[in-house]
Structure 1
Amino acid sequence: MKNIKLTIEYDGTNYFGWQVQPEVSSVQGEIKKAIKILTNEDIDLTGAGRTDRKVHARGQVANFMTNSSIPAEKFSYAINKYLPQDISIVKSEEVDINFHSRYDAIGKEYRYLIYNTHIRSSLLRNYTYHVPYNLDFKKMDIAKDFFLGTHDFSAFMSTGSSIENTVRTIYAVSLCQKNNIICFEVQGNGFLYNMVRIMVGTLIDVGSGKIRPESIPIILESKDRKKAGHTAKPQGLYLEKVYY
């Protein structure tokens, strides 16, 4: 028995998120089916975290136990033969038998892309959030820094989560603009349900003048979801990396 760690890239457009769900397509489900064809084993595939419908990943991590004789580094090539083109195993490696992709993770990095122009893009519609009105980038850039540090992020969590501890630490944030694309990047020790999308939605509301940059600490202290901005659309979100 060996423990195989996978690093996974996927376009989430055609999937109902990472996690297996009845009667709908999921990224986890497609990978499990591919491994079943390859090894004839019904494996448990554990992901580092869930991504929602239409969310993408460049560095999702998962692991599974197998008795297969396939060399660990060859699993990526072998599994990819049975996967659809919008899912790729970019790396496979053997790890300690006790490694757990979710519980051993110490942090994650996300990227979010905003397409800020009056005319929508047919080519970017599945990979960015189109915001057709003018945004004040300088105000957004000021606001982002208030997320840094350790805070209770209750105001930036969607309802429906059973998480009790809503305190998270944000290590780094960045905001850059190139042509019509605004890119937000954030690293932290963990993220609540829809937390990044609400952070981005709040920054967009700052950029449009609905929220003042200096209101971010007040929103955090309030722990009130209604005081934060809207939830940005899923297709602009990318899970970039999981840290161990």
Structure 2
Amino acid sequence: MRNIKLVLEYDGSRYDGWQKQPGSNKSITIQDKVEAVLNKMEEEVVELTGAARTEAGVHAYGQIANFKTNTDLKTYEIKHYLNRYLPRDIAVMEALEVPERFHSSFNAKGFQYVYKITTGEVPSVFERKYNYYCFHKLDVSLMKKAAQSLIGEHDFKAFSDNKRMKKSTVRRMKNIEIKTGINSIDIILEADDFWPNMVRIIAGTLIEIGEGNMAPEYMEEILASGDRSKAGETAEAKGLFLMDVKYE
């Protein structure tokens, strides 16, 4: 049996996230859409595994997924078939044959996300679906200072919305960059893993610091407290993109 790896790009605006939700007849996910086309291609049930469980409304430049198949189709034929039948807001950028033991989620060593913010006097009509618009001018120097407190291995419980989290919330934040344009701010985060909403809570906290509602030194107190209520609001999903999944 062959193991096929896919690199996917998608606009998550109209989807309930990546992962299908068993028992729900109303949810529409990226996994549902891709599996439906694979099932049609294979004429049998295909199970697709994704590296990152992106949330409802979150986008991706580089989601990774894999599936097992007995098809005789070449990888470029699989790619072309998927792109022919998938909706236009989901695209397969690459299809590659990988070793049988490759697992897109278990083998992942890191994830990189970007949270996109726009500023300026008037919100852009064309960017409204893919950026968080901030009505206030942000002090990026304060945001950068606060972000440094998150680098390294920490317990990120304060940045998780899941109150019933039983697994360890310790994660290693490898890097945070904050890049600015004329009317844009990109917060780029890379860690060994992220919990649901973690990036958006960090982004929301950094936005509040940039607005002057929190001192940058307060980030260390939030981190040490493990208390979600001390962190900022969860930033809107539409500004978040999965950029890359890292493998050895």
Residue 236 (structure 1) aligned with residue 239 (structure 2): yes
- Give distance in 1, aligned partners of 2:77 and 2:245: 22
**Deviations 1:178-233 (Å, cap 9, x if unpaired)?**
01110010111001121110110010010111111111111111111111111100
* Counterpart position of 2:83: 80
* Counterpart position of 1:176: 179
The equivalent position to 1:64 in structure 2, one of 39, 49, 67, is 67
Mark the CA change 1:70 to 1:114 in structure 2 (over 3 Å): closer, same or farther.
Answer: same
- Give distance in 1, aligned partners of 2:124 and 2:145: 28
* Counterpart position of 1:110: 113
- Give distance in 2, aligned partners of 1:184 and 1:215: 19
Mark the CA change 1:161 to 1:46 in structure 2 (over 3 Å): closer, same or farther.
Answer: farther
CA-CA distance at 1:14 after TM superposition: 1.2
Unaligned residue ranges in structure 1 (runs of 5+):
none
User: Would the aligned equivalents of 1:157 and 1:225 in 2 still touch at CA under 8 Å?
Assistant: yes
User: Would the aligned equivalents of 1:161 and 1:193 in 2 still touch at CA under 8 Å?
Assistant: no
- Give distance in 2, aligned partners of 1:161 and 1:193: 13
- Give distance in 1, aligned partners of 2:129 and 2:44: 34
* Counterpart position of 2:140: 137
> Please, which moves more after superposition, 110-119 or 3-12?
110-119
CA-CA distance at 1:68 after TM superposition: 0.6
User: Would the aligned equivalents of 1:58 and 1:240 in 2 still touch at CA under 8 Å?
Assistant: yes
* Counterpart position of 1:19: 19
- Give distance in 2, aligned partners of 1:235 and 1:160: 24
Unaligned residue ranges in structure 2 (runs of 5+):
none
- AA at the equivalent of 1:77: H
Mark the CA change 1:42 to 1:88 in structure 2 (over 3 Å): closer, same or farther.
Answer: same
* Counterpart position of 2:213: 210
> Please, which moves more after superposition, 165-174 or 66-75?
66-75
After the TM superposition, which parts of structure 1 deviate over 3 Å for at least 4 consecutive aligned residues?
Answer: 160-163
> Please, which moves more after superposition, 145-154 or 68-77?
68-77
* Counterpart position of 1:191: 194
- AA at the equivalent of 1:34: V
- Give distance in 1, aligned partners of 2:89 and 2:32: 13
**Deviations 1:109-162 (Å, cap 9, x if unpaired)?**
001101123422221111001111121111112111111100000001112564
Residue 8 (structure 1) aligned with residue 8 (structure 2): yes
- Give distance in 2, aligned partners of 1:103 and 1:162: 20
- Give distance in 2, aligned partners of 1:162 and 1:221: 17
User: Would the aligned equivalents of 1:175 and 1:182 in 2 still touch at CA under 8 Å?
Assistant: yes
TM norm structure 1:
0.96
* Counterpart position of 1:227: 230
Mark the CA change 1:39 to 1:101 in structure 2 (over 3 Å): closer, same or farther.
Answer: same
CA-CA distance at 1:41 after TM superposition: 2.0
- Give distance in 1, aligned partners of 2:186 and 2:52: 22
Mark the CA change 1:171 to 1:54 in structure 2 (over 3 Å): closer, same or farther.
Answer: same
* Counterpart position of 2:169: 166
- How many residue pairs match? The answer is 244
- AA at the equivalent of 1:2: R
- AA at the equivalent of 1:112: Y
SS at match of 1:213: coil
